[in-house]
Structures are given as structure tokens and as C-alpha cells.
Amino acid sequence: MALTLAYVGAAYRGFQANAGVPTVEAAVAEALTRSGLVAAANGGDLKKVGWSKAARTDAGVSAVGNVVGIKLELPREVTVDAGALVVSRLNAALPPDITILGAVRVPGGFSARSCCGGRAYEYLLPVGAVLRGGPPGGREAWPAAVARLNGSLAALTGTLWAHNLTNGVGLPPPPAARRYVTRFEVEPESFLLYMIRKMVAAALLRHAGATPPAVYAAITDPAVRVSVPPAPAAGLLLAGCSYDAYQRRSAAMYAGETKV
């Protein structure tokens, strides 16, 4: 089944399980076994039951539309309304800062990660951050400030080298450091570690006049190393994951509803 979940990330050290620290994945795994949807013997290794996840959010990052795939143990008599049963059981076993929004049956080959065609994030900014960096001697009008910030954000769209927008990538950057960003709301196919938070920080520093234009342009230059700090995790939200292409491919092969 495919599960859509929301969570407040403040209490977790990211989504992916990490021994010794609280994570969203560990909390969901515990709820799966407590609810009887996964055998206790498999709770410590969800790969045994086909576990996959669309996004591995960083520490402190929240979500309203992350997706996981998993094979669940359901009563034989449950056929039509299996999704409602899964949602009810899991939410009863989960902590209050994690909620299952929906559960649907999917074909056996479904992977929440590889079948996902895009991930949409939102970053909440304080008004003061948008109004910084205007013309000296006066307060910039809100529409002008927004237009100016959008200009900075637009420079980080299209096909770009993201080696300066993540950690641990040297020069020359490998092909995996190249990403395509359709628009800065943002909705690319995938992200590198800290990429969104560093994109937001880079654009805000340029917007506030703290980064010279030449340095800002060099961020996506594959021959240049630029140190970019990440913006705070608390403002970042995974808004949703897209499975439109998967839907179109599977529609011709499977009858019934498989929408995620």
C-alpha cells in the first residue's frame, strides 16, 4: 500500500531511521508493529516488507504530503475499505505529531521513491526577510520587494549544478550533483542534502545585498566552490509528492483506483 503522511519535524532528527536518535521513520515503524499491520519480526527491518519512501526530510523539517510504500498484513475479510482500516489503526498507534492522511492499494512493483516524479516544498519566510535589502533611505513597497526576491530565486531554476547547495561534494562535481528545478516554489525531481535550505539562504543573502552578484552567479558554476549556509529547518515544509507519470503508466495495466 501507499501511505500519505504528515508530521511536525521539530522533535525528530530527520525522516530516515538513525540509531540512537528519534526519527519519523522509527516512530512509524513502531506504530506499524503495535497496530499489527507489520509482524514484530519485521519491525526492525522494514525492507523485508517492501518499505520505500518518497523523501528523506532533514532534521526539524515538517511535511504534509510525504509518501511511503509498504506491504501490510490485513485481515482476509478486508477488501474494499482497507485504506480506512490502515489509517485508523496507524493513527491510533502514532504520536500526535505524525498523522496518516490516506492509504491506498498499489501494484506490487510500486516504489514510493522511484515512482515519484517530483517533490514540492514550501519555505515560510518572515515578512521582514522579504523587505530587507531595498533602496537606501526608504521602505520598499511590498510588490517591489516580492518581485526583487523572485528575481533572485529565478536565478536558481532550470538545469543547474547543485554542488555548492549540499554537503560533501567536491570539484569537479559528479553528474549526480546536477539538478533540474522547474520553478522556485520549488518542484524539481529530487533534491540533494540541505539543497532547498541552502537555495533559500543564498537567495535571501543576495536579496538583502549581502552577496555580490558575481558570487551569487558562481554558486552554480561547476568550477567554483562557494560556501552557502543552510536556512533554518523550521521554515521548510514538504508540501507533496507527484505520481502523475506513474499514474499514466499504471492506468493502462491495472484496473481500479491506484491514485496516491
- The three-point CA angle 242-246-248 to 5° equals 110
pLDDT single digits (tens) 177-204: 998 887 764 344 457 778 889 999 999 9
Rg (CA), the chain: 21
Average pLDDT score over residue span 138-153: 86
pLDDT single digits (tens) 88-104: 999 999 999 999 999 99
CATH of the domain at 210: 3.30.70.660
pLDDT single digits (tens) 43-72: 888 999 999 999 999 999 999 999 999 999
What is the model's pLDDT at position 198?
A: 93
Same-domain check for residues 70 and 98 = yes
Same-domain check for residues 29 and 46 = yes
Q: Which of 243, 4, 241 is nearest to 102 (CA)?
A: 4
Same-domain check for residues 18 and 83 = yes
Q: How confident is the model at residue 76 (pLDDT cuts 50, 70, 90)?
A: confident
Same-domain check for residues 173 and 201 = yes
Domain annotation covers residue 207: yes
Residue 37 clears pLDDT 90, i.e. is over it: yes
Helices 24-34 & 82-93, crossing angle to 10 degrees? 110
Question: 236-242 and 178-181: which strand pairing?
Answer: unpaired
Split into its structural domains, the chain has a count of 2
Average pLDDT score over residue span 160-180: 93
Q: Which residues are catalytic?
A: 58
Domain annotation covers residue 247: no
- Give me the domain span that covers residue 181: 124-233
**C-alpha separations of 179 from 133, 159, 165 in Å:** 29, 6, 11
Same-domain check for residues 8 and 76 = yes
Domain annotation covers residue 254: no
